[in-house]
Structure 1
Amino acid sequence: MTATDDSRKKAGEPQCAAMPEDWQRALAVVAHPDDLEYGVAAAVAEWTARGKEVVYLLATRGEAGIDTMDPAEAARVREAEERASAAVVGVTQVEFLDHRDGVIEEGVALRRDIAGAVRRHRPDLVVTINHRETWGSAPGSPWNTPDHRAVGRATLDAVGDAGNRWIFTEQLRAEGLEPWDGVRWVAVAASPAVTHAVPVGPEAAAQGLASLREHRAYITALTGEDPEAYVRSIVEGGLDMYAPRFAGRRCVAFELHPC
């Protein structure tokens, strides 16, 4: 998903700083297949092209996302689409947690699963989805979904959990994991309060388009618009959205939280 037009530059809005580059491994944690392709994938393409490692962690398989398809079949189709879309931008590790699409519960179980992934992958950077109530900051902005809010908030909490050996101790005993307090930043995508941005060049932009195109079944069910026109409007519109706040450069913008 992307933030709404009220996130575009207005007079007096602060400029976005460049995202830190002194890291090697990132873990991207979102709710559904396609969440990353609606804005983050082009930045991922830039990162992997520079030799950085990115792992995707999805809380669900998107089984409730296609009205005309049985959930079991939708889960199979959407998992395959997500793996294909990740490969387009250089991501080879895609994991699913099997929480229930549409009714993800924010709480200890979700935090435990995400903290376990942080401990396994030991990232420097964690990326997640907008955890705020709306997609924009203006009154009347579109309401965010419960799944996005739950996963975004749980991710912010789980990063702290992962570094504390006295939280989720069963992971240390039974799974052989160790605490990981090496996350330096959490970057929130599609936030209405962006602070930093990743510049995106033509090649990465093209990869971002191709990555979203892989969600063919989902896009076909979602909109009656021509799929190519739809994909271009989403990806190119997102890259242009914060350019006025980033020296005119096309970019993917984030709300960055130092840890």
Structure 2
Amino acid sequence: MTDQLAPMPTDWHRALAVVAHPDDLEYGCAGAIAGWTDGGREVAYLLATRGEAGIDTVDPDRCAAVREREQRASAAVVGVSSVEFLDHRDGVIEYGIDLRRDVAAAIRRHRPELVITLNHRETFGGVYWNTPDHVAVGRATLDAAADAGNRWIFPELAEQGLEPWGGVRWVAVAASPHPTHAVDAGPGFEHAVRSLLEHRAYIEALTDEEPEAYVRKFLTETTASSSEQFGGRPAVTFELFSR
């Protein structure tokens, strides 16, 4: 018997998605985000880096500008207008107090009920080794969801006008090897395709395939892989932690 995935909660209004790089959300869960914003919910993005180390043939300073521009265009496709960058160094993000503080500050600013991040575990399903950046940002986000509500952790944030926010009800981890919940990928699929295609410079450096064919194949296969656990529907999956 295959464990079935529960539908993601819908009784929330604001979400904050926290990831390491431009394209992390588009490869992970932009299709779900498109459906949420279409339904009137607010979603903001926080990126730890500008992805400046992501294209081998492009100097980091120029790459950062390209990838920031692509990320903002990509977010707009799925109804997200708030995109912030923390400027940690791509490829060498360190898990620790500074990163936790930065994410906690963003949670206090945006006051979300749902926080979203990317797989923080060592592997993707025991097949692909995860990157240190994903692990660091995912772990820090899980911790910062609690930090944001405790006025005695990072008290300097309150001094800056960022009062504690204890209203985070869930942290949802996209692309987890241990999913518990899912969103029907069908309604937001075309938005997800267009959103990932906005990362054209990155995709063209990554593969020799025609970009749209590559994107459609990747998203089709990814969302179909969990359909058996979600009533036969293509799914965007999450590991959901309640708070």
Choose from 39, 58, 63 the match for 1:69.
58
Higher mean alpha-carbon deviation, 221-230 vs 61-70, is at 221-230
Match for residue 114 of structure 2? 125
Larger mean CA deviation between 49-58 and 219-228 belongs to 219-228
Structure 2 Cα separation of the partners of residues 95 and 71 of structure 1: 19
CA distance in 1, matches of 2:225, 2:197: 20
Matched AA of 2:224: D
- The TM-score with structure 2 as length reference comes to 0.99
2:147 to 148, 161, 170: 161
Of 226, 232, 236, the residue aligned with 1:248 is 232
Q: CA deviation at 1:201?
A: 2.7
What amino acid sits opposite 2:228 in the alignment? P
Give, in whole Å, the separation in 1 of the partners of 2:105 and 2:220: 35
- Tell whether the 8 Å contact from 2:18 to 2:141 is kept in structure 1 after alignment: yes
Pairs aligned (count): 243
Cα offset, 1:241, TM superposition: 1.4
Distance 1:235 1:152 in 2: 22
Offset, 1:239: 1.6
Give the counterpart letter for 2:176 in structure 1: S
> Partners of 2:69 and 2:81 in 1: how far apart?
13
Matched, 1:176 2:165: no
Aligned to 1:9: none
Identity over aligned residues, as a percent? 67
Q: Equivalent residue for 1:143?
A: 129
Instruction: Determine the C-alpha separation between the residues in 2 that align with 1:200 and 1:100.
Output: 32
Q: What are the Cα deviations for residues 52-73 of structure 1, in whole angstroms up to 9, with x where unaligned?
A: 0000000000000000000000
Structure 1 position 192 matched with structure 2 position 181:
no
Q: 1:79 aligns with which of 65, 68, 76?
A: 68
Distance of 2:132 and 2:205 partners within structure 1: 21
Q: How does 1:42-57 map to 2 (within 5 A)?
A: 42-57=31-46
User: Which residue type is aligned with residue 178 of structure 1?
Assistant: E
| Mapped contact 2:22–2:68 kept (Cα < 8 A) | yes
Residue of structure 1 aligned with 2:20, choices 8, 22, 31: 31
Q: Which amino acid aligns with 1:187?
A: A
Runs of 4+ residues deviating >6 angstroms: none
Gaps of 5+ in 2: none
